[in-house]
């Protein structure tokens, strides 16, 4: 276990370097992009005023000075202040992150809860009508444009049938939170569910042909036990990879789904910040998301150690 | 009289009762009812700070704060706001504002001239980045004559000054902000957690990224609002806004013409068309030698089928535009200018006469230069549609026109470069209800994104700005409109109506566009 501890420490050190690299690249991209902070281009603003605002925000400094200033502040725990919202970036992110975690968490739960059983069913009943139906659904799920899908569900469930609210998030009661959560979680989860279904099916199929499965069956082990203990535990590895790739989205959110459902999350924040060139927010969001991605990858890698005894880290 | 007589009398009584009931119902239907919440969508989180811009910020500020001057809800003439009335000296160099008495800030403190003087200080402070600083560039100093009288001394006469003071220039509370430094005033974080103003609605609650809830200011000086609360919901996507109005979650949304088919004749909703001070145009970069040639500009204008744009893209919800001054500013507007009715043959003649002759590939050229340029446009369906129509129209008269897609942010930056970096661009302009367009047409002005320079127009613009007498001003601006139309400085397209999708229960909306109309939010009520 000591080796695992060393492994984790090593990964965390790597993470710091990785974060620095990501921040430099992001900053360079921001500086290279045409256009500037939206506040400078208001139709009423004079050239003098624009210059003054530019100086106040430190945008007249050379790029590397601006980056070092940002870095210095970050090390001291200050992520800066948003140009358009007027609030500290850390506060803005702290407000938006829970909403995104909620939505992404719910969508991943939905995707896993439906995807794994459907994938298993599909593999076990290969080439039957069940398999064909599940395959068709997963292909549709992967190809469907999220924007259209979200609006269609909204038109049906909110406008036509008045069953659910048309977007937004109100957390006064658990019931109201859940009601607002259903549609966007299903929309976001459908794509993930499709992916997980396909991966589970493929992985299960390859495992089900292994010798040890044939051995277990010939030993007379009950089929469900064969599936659960032997097949699933081994088939789950690639699926864990896929889930691991999805986990970082827990923090980034999906910009499109959040836009359509007016969900006050990180995705919407990132898109607005990008359009308005709200540099402190863009950098702050990138930093937070990078931290989450790195941590999630670490968790997934540690999960491998648990799931697959063949995996060892030096 | 017997049975028959009684029945007749009974019938008369029933008729009378019915008539009375009808009258009562009609009267009740007209009388505003108190109570209810009005929910309006905005596209982003508002800072609620009048020193910053942004349409979503401006809308919310109209309810929390007041300005010295307001615009009449139908004619947009300047009427009394926090200033009951004002006078201007004969030379136009001194404005005396008589402030309303008995007005209170939302925290109960009294409003007086010190607040106005303080606010002017903030506006004029060079260390505070203020996006509307141009509006006070003519101010020399502010004098407090007594607790309810303020005199503003001007460096030079600015005839539009009262109108400008009504353009989102909210008065700020001195007692809450005077201790802040200039850097803090750029963004007063603590104050903005619970902003106070003198406006018809008080700050109630804010859920970042989600909504702002304002509650009625029962002691508002122009009468307590009929509504209990006003909620601004952050809904960035227009289609989602439309869905929410249909679902009853929103009371109103501003929609585009292409939404009309889906929402016409939906029970419980109605569509309103409201005039606004806004015009759409295709701007041309005069720094490009092609567009420096007036004949080219005029020809392009004649070759453009504006009516097809109005009918096909705006679905009739717009009036053809003759110039940059909106007909809403009725005293200054004139239609007595050259109008470029669709006439492609005339366009071709103009180009031929000016020496732009068709080359072997059908594209016109003159002195070795081809009539070839690019329309920059942002990915909005209406503006893209305009670009496509223009491209097609102009191809027919021998111009080679390409279309390039850019983010709006980038288009703005390119347009405001000196010299501007584009060829042609469909755009729009929303201004205060005053004809002073110096910012946009005076040579060298930063808002003049077309590199247009006409010394006669410069002279008239300066004169119009300085002339206080409205009749004289009108004549000056009529002349300016004539020259701009003759010059085809930019290609004016249309004055768009604001199209509102409104819940039928909502009454009392000001009949002008909500950018100005929301200053009268205290008159809105719900059945």
Query: What are the backbone dihedrals phi and psi of residue B394, each rounded to the nearest 5 degrees, phi first?
Result: -80, -25
The tally of CA atoms less than 13 A away on the side-chain side of residue A148 is 5
CA distance B472 to chain A (A): 26
Best of B247, B268, B503 to disrupt the A interface (most A CBs within 10 Å) is: B247
Q: Which domains does chain A have, with CATH numbers?
A: 96-275 (1.10.3720.10)
User: Does the pLDDT at position B6 exceed 70?
Assistant: no
pLDDT in tens, B167-206: 999 999 999 999 999 988 988 989 999 999 999 999 999 9
Closest CB to B130: pick one of A49, A151, A272: A49
Number of other residues whose CB lies within 10 A of the CB of residue A306: 9
Test A42 with B187 for CB contact under 8 angstroms. Answer: no
Secondary structure string (H, E, C) spanning A185-235:
HHHHHHHHHHHHHHHHHHHHHHHHCCHHHHHHHHCCCCHHHHHHHHHHHHH
Q: Tell me the residues of chain B between 135 and 164 that have a Cβ less than 8 Å away from chain A.
A: 135, 137
Q: Tell me the residues of chain A between 161 and 180 that have a Cβ less than 8 Å away from chain B.
A: 162, 165-170
Q: Tell me the residues of chain A between 8 and 67 that have a Cβ less than 8 Å away from chain B.
A: 34-36, 38-39, 41-50, 52-53, 56
Q: How far apart, in Å, are the Cα atoms of B424 and each of A49, A121, B23?
A: 26, 59, 58
Note whether A209 contacts B: Cβ–Cβ < 8 A.
Answer: no
pLDDT of residue A311: 64
Q: Report the share of chain B in percent with pLDDT over 70.
A: 94
Q: How far apart, in Å, are the Cα atoms of B498 and each of A67, B256, B271, B380, B501?
A: 43, 9, 10, 16, 10
Name the β-bridge partners of B98.
B85, B149
Structure tokens at B273: 């068309």
Residue of B nearest to A160 (CA): B247
pLDDT of residue B454: 95
State the average pLDDT over residues B283-298.
95
Q: Which of helix, strand or coil describes residue B313?
A: coil
Closest CB to A42: pick one of B49, B131, B239: B131
Rounded Cα–Cα distance for residues A275 and A35 (Å):
9
Name the β-bridge partners of B229.
B37, B215
Helices (H) and strands (E) in chain B, counts: 19, 24
Rounded Cα–Cα distance for residues A265 and A112 (Å):
22
- Comparing CA positions, the residue from B123, B122, B101 lying closest to residue B113 is B101
Note whether B13 contacts A: Cβ–Cβ < 8 A.
Answer: no
Test A85 with B135 for CB contact under 8 angstroms. Answer: no
Name the β-bridge partners of B202.
B215
B428 neighbors B278 (Cβ within 8 angstroms): yes
| pLDDT band at B1; cut points 50, 70, 90 | very low
B289 neighbors B354 (Cβ within 8 angstroms): no
Contacts of B126 in chain A (CB under 8 A): 52
**Helix H or strand E encompassing B143:** strand B139-146
pLDDT in tens, A83-97: 888 788 999 999 888
Contacts of B45 in chain A (CB under 8 A): 84-85
- Work out the burial of residue B286: count CB atoms within 10 Å of its CB; fewer than 13 is exposed, 13-18 middle, 19 or more buried: buried
User: Complex ipTM, two decimals?
Assistant: 0.82
Test A86 with B192 for CB contact under 8 angstroms. Answer: yes
Test A95 with B189 for CB contact under 8 angstroms. Answer: no
pLDDT in tens, A278-313: 999 999 999 988 888 888 888 877 777 777 666 665
pLDDT in tens, A18-56: 999 999 999 999 888 887 787 777 766 777 777 878 887
Contacts of A95 in chain B (CB under 8 A): 208-209
Test A275 with B137 for CB contact under 8 angstroms. Answer: no
What is the rounded radius of gyration, in angstroms, for the C-alpha atoms of chain A? 24
pTM of the predicted protein model: 0.87
Note whether A156 contacts B: Cβ–Cβ < 8 A.
Answer: no
Q: Which residues contact A19 (CB under 8 A, 6 or more apart)?
A: A287, A290, A291, A294
**Helix H or strand E encompassing B457:** helix B455-466
């Amino acid at each position: 276990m000591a080796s695992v501890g060393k492994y984790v420490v090593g990964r965390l050190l790597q993470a710091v370097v990785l974060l620095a690299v990501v921040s430099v690249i992001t900053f360079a991209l921001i500086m290279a992009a045409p256009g500037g902070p939206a506040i400078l281009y208001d139709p009423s603003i004079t050239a003098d005023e624009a210059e003054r605002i530019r100086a106040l925000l430190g945008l007249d400094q050379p790029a590397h000075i601006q980056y070092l200033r940002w870095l210095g502040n970050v090390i001291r725990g200050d992520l800066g202040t948003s140009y358009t919202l007027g609030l500290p970036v850390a506060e803005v992110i702290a407000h938006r992150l829970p909403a995104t975690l909620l939505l992404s968490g719910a969508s991943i739960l939905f995707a896993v809860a439906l995807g794994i059983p459907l994938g298993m069913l599909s593999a076990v009943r290969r080439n039957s009508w069940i398999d064909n139906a599940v395959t068709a659904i997963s292909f549709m799920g992967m190809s469907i444009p999220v924007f259209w899908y979200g609006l269609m569900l909204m038109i049906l469930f909110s406008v036509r049938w008045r069953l659910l609210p048309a977007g937004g998030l109100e957390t006064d009661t658990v019931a109201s939170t859940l009601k607002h959560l259903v549609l966007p979680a299903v929309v976001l989860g459908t794509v993930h569910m499709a992916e997980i279904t396909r991966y589970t099916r493929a992985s299960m199929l390859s495992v089900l042909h292994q010798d040890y499965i044939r051995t277990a069956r010939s030993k007379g082990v009950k089929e469900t036990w064969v599936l659960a203990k032997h097949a699933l535990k081994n088939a789950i590895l690639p699926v864990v990879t896929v889930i691991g790739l999805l986990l970082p989205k827990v923090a980034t959110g999906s910009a499109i789904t959040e836009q359509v459902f007016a969900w006050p999350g990180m995705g919407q924040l990132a898109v607005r910040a990008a359009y308005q060139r709200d540099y402190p927010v863009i950098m702050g969001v990138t930093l937070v998301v990078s931290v989450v991605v790195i941590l999630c990858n670490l968790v997934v890698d540690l999960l491998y150690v648990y799931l697959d005894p063949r995996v060892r880290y030096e | 009289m017997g049975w028959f007589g009684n029945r007749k009398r009974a019938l008369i009584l029933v008729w009378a009762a019915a008539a009375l009931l009808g009258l009562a119902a009609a009267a009740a239907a007209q009388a505003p009812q108190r109570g209810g919440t009005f929910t309006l969508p905005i596209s982003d989180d508002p800072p609620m700070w009048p020193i910053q811009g942004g349409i979503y910020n401006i809308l919310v500020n109209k309810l929390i704060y007041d300005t010295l001057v307001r615009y009449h809800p139908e004619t947009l003439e300047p009427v009394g706001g926090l200033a009951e009335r004002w006078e201007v000296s004969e030379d136009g160099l001194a404005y005396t504002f008589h402030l309303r008495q008995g007005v209170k800030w939302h925290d109960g403190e009294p409003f007086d001239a010190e607040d106005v003087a303080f606010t002017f200080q903030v506006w004029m402070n060079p260390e505070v980045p203020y996006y509307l600083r141009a509006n006070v560039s003519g101010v020399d100093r502010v004098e407090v004559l007594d607790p309810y009288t303020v005199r503003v001394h001007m460096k030079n006469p600015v005839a539009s000054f009262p109108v400008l003071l009504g353009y989102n220039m909210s008065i700020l509370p001195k007692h809450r902000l005077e201790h802040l430094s200039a850097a803090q005033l750029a963004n007063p974080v603590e104050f903005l957690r619970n902003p106070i103003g003198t406006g018809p609605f008080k700050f109630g609650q804010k859920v970042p990224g989600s909504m702002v809830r304002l509650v009625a200011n029962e002691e508002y000086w122009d009468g307590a609002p009929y509504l209990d609360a006003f909620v601004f919901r952050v809904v960035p996507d227009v289609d989602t806004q439309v869905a929410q109005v249909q679902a009853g979650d929103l009371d109103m949304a501003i929609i585009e013409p292409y939404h009309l088919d889906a929402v016409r004749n939906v029970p419980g909703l109605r569509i309103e068309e409201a005039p606004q001070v806004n015009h759409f145009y295709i701007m041309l970069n005069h720094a490009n030698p092609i567009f420096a040639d007036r004949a080219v500009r005029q020809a392009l204008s004649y070759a453009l089928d504006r009516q097809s744009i109005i009918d096909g893209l705006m679905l009739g919800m717009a009036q053809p535009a003759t110039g940059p001054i909106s007909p809403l500013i009725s005293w200054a507007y004139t239609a007595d200018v050259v109008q470029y009715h669709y006439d492609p043959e005339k366009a071709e003649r103009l180009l031929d006469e000016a020496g732009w002759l068709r080359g072997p590939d059908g594209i016109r050229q003159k002195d070795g230069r081809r009539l070839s340029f690019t329309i920059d446009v942002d990915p909005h369906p209406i503006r893209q549609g305009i670009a496509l129509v223009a491209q097609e129209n102009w191809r027919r008269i021998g111009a080679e026109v390409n279309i390039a897609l850019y983010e709006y942010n980038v288009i703005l930056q390119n347009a405001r470069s000196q010299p501007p970096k584009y060829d042609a661009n469909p755009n729009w302009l929303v201004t205060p209800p005053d004809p002073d367009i110096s910012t946009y047409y005076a040579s060298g002005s930063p808002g003049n994104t077309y590199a247009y320079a006409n010394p006669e127009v410069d002279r008239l613009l300066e004169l119009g700005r300085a002339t206080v007498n409205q009749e004289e001003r009108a004549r000056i601006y009529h002349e300016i409109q004539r020259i701009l139309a003759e010059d085809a400085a930019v290609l004016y397209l249309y004055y768009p109506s604001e199209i509102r999708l409104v819940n039928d229960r909502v009454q009392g909306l000001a009949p002008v566009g909500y950018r100005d109309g929301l200053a009268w939010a205290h008159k809105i009520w719900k059945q």
